[in-house]
A and B are shown apart, each in its own frame.
Chain A
């Protein structure tokens, strides 16, 4: 299996969940584990580009597939991924526990709907639970992420351009 563009061998124990494999075998602790039954969305990662719950997959099932975790969105020191940048600008996080899951879900949402309607935004983040920031700033972050991701002249304006605060 490839994780963040690096080949790894899957775990020997088929009972190991993908979420636990990422965290405990590969040290990729950015993937958070909340409810472990698919409700909270914290453990969301990309499997061949589409967001999935890593707690609802056995790690052996990822063999032959591409997994992207939050660590794989931007290299250390490189500019943040547009979705990360948007969450940063719009204060789309407070304690940050749910954030990696939200970010990965939003990456999937924007791949499906590059310019999502308000309803598509709500639908897209409805499978992730946040218990402190509240969803208003997260919604704004999704809209901002769509702006940052669109191939328009506005791309790369970066922080401080006032995008989120309308």
Chain B
């Protein structure tokens, strides 16, 4: 009876689904539930669920919260709210004018169809070490605003990333906004990947004299442009050896600073 089998066909592991319509409601859920995960764009979380690599007891879908998808100017930079899709940032004239580095970086994230759902804040909260946007936030010295029932707090980029997919966010906190300072020229983001749109083997972000690296450590890291590979101990995998990643860091830095 294929029909009956299909009617129960699901990929993700069991979870309880919550769909709050306000930020306060989402924070109350985060405060009261054990082992809850926030679902924003889902372009990293849903694959993890489909593979059953992530098995949260509760899924808090924030997509029904209204008024949380703005891009606006504040404090000499640009603020991106939790539900702003990456494609909206890509298309934003404000981002292009105030923080063109962010505009350039977001175009390197996967493909347009993924960016139609994926969010900037989600990329920061997910904190994949090979992801572009955390390194951009770090290079520019931006911050994120997180909210819980205990109140709001600001986490500077330098204090946000703790390890592979680990951040300073507490279990009950929701990342509601990311703030990127204006990107003064010269800036550049250069990366090397095996396939178009795939995660980078290594990448570098230049914001004036500051340099941040991604894909070569458990978190994005700041580095000295004159000796970018100093102290780095990147991991090796099927796609690149540690030595090749160090080589990439040197070559990509050279390219970024030649511009």
Chain B positions within 8 Å of A20 at CB level: 6, 9-11
In whole angstroms, what is the CA distance A58 to B63 when docked? 11
Quick check: is A91 within 8 A (CB to CB) of the other chain?
Answer: no
In chain A, residues 56-113, which have Cβ atoms closer than 8 Å to a Cβ of chain B? 56-58, 60-61, 105, 108-109, 112
Q: How large is the interface on A (under 10, 10 to 19, 20 to 34, 35 or more residues)?
A: 20 to 34
The answer to whether residues A37 and B110 also contact, given A13-B10, A127-B197 and a CB cut-off of 8 A, is no
Q: Mark the stretch among B68-76, B113-121, B168-176 that contacts chain A.
A: B113-121
Q: Is the CB of A58 within 8 A of B17?
A: yes
The answer to whether residues A52 and B117 also contact, given A15-B15, A124-B112, A126-B196 and a CB cut-off of 8 A, is yes
Q: Give B7's nearest chain A residue, CB to CB.
A: A24
Shortest beta-carbon distance from A92 to chain B in Å = 18
Q: Is the CB of B9 within 8 A of A37?
A: no
Q: Is the CB of B50 within 8 A of A36?
A: yes
Q: Is the CB of A25 within 8 A of B113?
A: no
In whole angstroms, what is the CA distance A52 to B85 when docked? 12
Quick check: is A143 within 8 A (CB to CB) of the other chain?
Answer: no
Q: Is the CB of A37 within 8 A of B87?
A: no
Q: Is the CB of B114 within 8 A of A53?
A: yes
Of the candidates B51, B63, B112, the one having the most CB atoms from chain A within 10 angstroms of its own CB is B112
Interface 1/0 per residue, B4-18 and A, CB below 8 Å: 001111111111010
Q: Give A127's nearest chain B residue, CB to CB.
A: B111
Q: Is the CB of B17 within 8 A of A17?
A: no
Interface 1/0 per residue, A4-29 and B, CB below 8 Å: 00000000011111001001110000
Quick check: is A44 within 8 A (CB to CB) of the other chain?
Answer: yes
Shortest beta-carbon distance from B120 to chain A in Å = 17
Q: Is the CB of A56 within 8 A of B43?
A: yes
Quick check: is B42 within 8 A (CB to CB) of the other chain?
Answer: yes
Quick check: is B47 within 8 A (CB to CB) of the other chain?
Answer: yes
Chain B positions within 8 Å of A47 at CB level: 116-117
The answer to whether residues A126 and B111 also contact, given A25-B7, A36-B11 and a CB cut-off of 8 A, is yes
Closest 6 CB pairs of A and B: A127-B111, A14-B17, A37-B47, A15-B10, A24-B6, A56-B46
17 pairs, CB–CB < 8 Å, chain A vs chain B: A15-B12, A36-B50, A37-B51, A38-B46, A41-B111, A47-B117, A53-B113, A53-B117, A55-B46, A57-B117, A58-B46, A60-B19, A61-B42, A108-B116, A126-B196, A127-B111, A127-B113
